[in-house]
Structure 1
Amino acid sequence: MNAMYAEYENKMKKTVEVLHSQFTSVRAGRANASVLDHIRVEYYGAPTPIQQIASVSSPDPRTLVIQPWDASSLREIDKALQTSDLGINPTNDGRVVRLLFPQLTEERRKELVKQVSKYSEEAKVAIRNIRRDAMEVFKAQKKKSEITEDDLKDIEKDLQKMTDDYTKEIDKIAEKKEKELYEV
């Protein structure tokens, strides 16, 4: 029976992993290079991640320095950062681009907590959709008489427990991220 659930459990694990990566892109008042992961720069006609065309360093807790390997891409990096949803204006000195992360205001913290809540709710919906898809598969097997009514009840109970476990894990991760956002 466990082999039957493995596929759905893997999908649920992947959903939690995606949530983790989404949370790393939510900045918590300190400089973190992962906030740049979703930003693409137009580089020789192709959208390219910043980390592939420049080195990113953090000389202090509130600053990120982006130094392109090709100086001609500096203006494109600057433009991509300005049009992104970071909410930070980059400063360009002709050689590097600096991102200065301001202290988070109470209003910005609340916005970020809403974003965290939205991401966690989307993850929970994805988990429930995986459970629903699994149940459809098992109900079809029951209809074809591949499994019994009792097997279907046990499967339904097991899938519900798996769904509840992953939902609790999502809640814990979201709570931890919210606590991090409210730290001063």
Structure 2
Amino acid sequence: MISDLKNQTKEKMENCIKNFIHIINTLRTDRASPDLLKNLYVEYYGKKTILGNISNIIVEDARTLRINTFDHKINKKVEKAIINSNLGLNPVSVGHVIRVPIPPLTEDRRKELIKILHKKSEISKVSIRIVRKESNDLVKNFVKNKDISQNEEKKIQNEIQLLTNFYIKEINNLTIKKEKELNNF
């Protein structure tokens, strides 16, 4: 019961970290990365579909992505989705291939991306704290139902707090790393 709670808490916090990593991978640096576009939504036969599901996104060189859609009829919609994505990218169609050059970041855009990074970081930290609160509430219910003693409650809450501290530190480290990446280009 208690070990299940700890495992579930750890798993939920790890999911918060994975989600944060996914989010920061979509923040553009000067390097081409398929993560930049693979989760972009495109109108595909009346449904919003993730670009990574309907195409191959390949790094052609350090500053260019190449998109090969499985259905070339939607290339115009893919281009439109990229332009409307607010990533500052301008795709170019060459036959059935869409090339997306990655322009250098301006200083203003870097600052804007760093602000976005810090907002996303704070949201992820809040998510981890919510997981901690939910777990602590479950522990309190165990005490209320006399499944565990108050001493055990304190011990478990301390362990949950240690997990919380660890994962928040992990988010801080990832944020610092991404900020350096954004500033170094």
TM-score over 0.5 for the pair: yes
What residue in structure 2 maps to residue 65 of structure 1?
A: 66
Q: Which runs of 4+ in 1 moved over 4 A?
A: none
38 and 54 in structure 1: CA distance in 2 versus 1, 3 angstrom threshold: closer
Letter paired with 1:148: S
- 1:62-112 CA deviation, whole Å, 9 max, x = no partner? 111223232211111111112212121222345322211111111111111
| More deviation, 48-57/118-127 | 48-57
Residues of 2 paired with 1:63 and 1:111: CA distance? 22
Q: Percent identity at matched positions?
A: 35
| More deviation, 66-75/131-140 | 66-75
| More deviation, 56-65/87-96 | 87-96
Structure 1: state its 5+ residue gaps: none
What residue in structure 2 maps to residue 21 of structure 1?
A: 22
Aligned-CA RMSD value: 1.5
Residue 102 of structure 2 is aligned to residue 130 of structure 1:
no
Partner-residue secondary structure (3-state), 2:148: coil
145 and 55 in structure 1: CA distance in 2 versus 1, 3 angstrom threshold: closer
Name the TM-score, length of structure 2 as normaliser: 0.92
Deviation at 1:61, TM superposition (A): 0.9
- 1:25-54 CA deviation, whole Å, 9 max, x = no partner? 111111111111221111122222223323
Residues of 2 paired with 1:134 and 1:42: CA distance? 40
What residue in structure 1 maps to residue 153 of structure 2?
A: 152
Residues of 2 paired with 1:174 and 1:110: CA distance? 14
What residue in structure 2 maps to residue 179 of structure 1?
A: 180
Name the TM-score, length of structure 1 as normaliser: 0.93
| More deviation, 138-147/92-101 | 92-101
| More deviation, 90-99/170-179 | 90-99
Deviation at 1:59, TM superposition (A): 2.1
Partner-residue secondary structure (3-state), 2:170: helix
What residue in structure 2 maps to residue 107 of structure 1?
A: 108
- 1:105-145 CA deviation, whole Å, 9 max, x = no partner? 11111111111111111110001001101111111111111
Residues of 1 paired with 2:120 and 2:38: CA distance? 16
| More deviation, 17-26/38-47 | 38-47
Deviation at 1:169, TM superposition (A): 0.9
Aligned 8 A contact 1:42 1:76 in 2: yes
Letter paired with 1:83: N
What residue in structure 1 maps to residue 142 of structure 2?
A: 141
- 1:132-172 CA deviation, whole Å, 9 max, x = no partner? 01111111111111111111111121111111111111111
Residues of 1 paired with 2:26 and 2:78: CA distance? 18
Aligned 8 A contact 2:38 2:57 in 1: no
- Count of residues in correspondence between the two structures: 184
57 and 3 in structure 1: CA distance in 2 versus 1, 3 angstrom threshold: closer
Structure 2: state its 5+ residue gaps: none
| More deviation, 55-64/173-182 | 55-64
162 and 52 in structure 1: CA distance in 2 versus 1, 3 angstrom threshold: closer
| More deviation, 41-50/113-122 | 41-50
Residues of 2 paired with 1:154 and 1:57: CA distance? 49
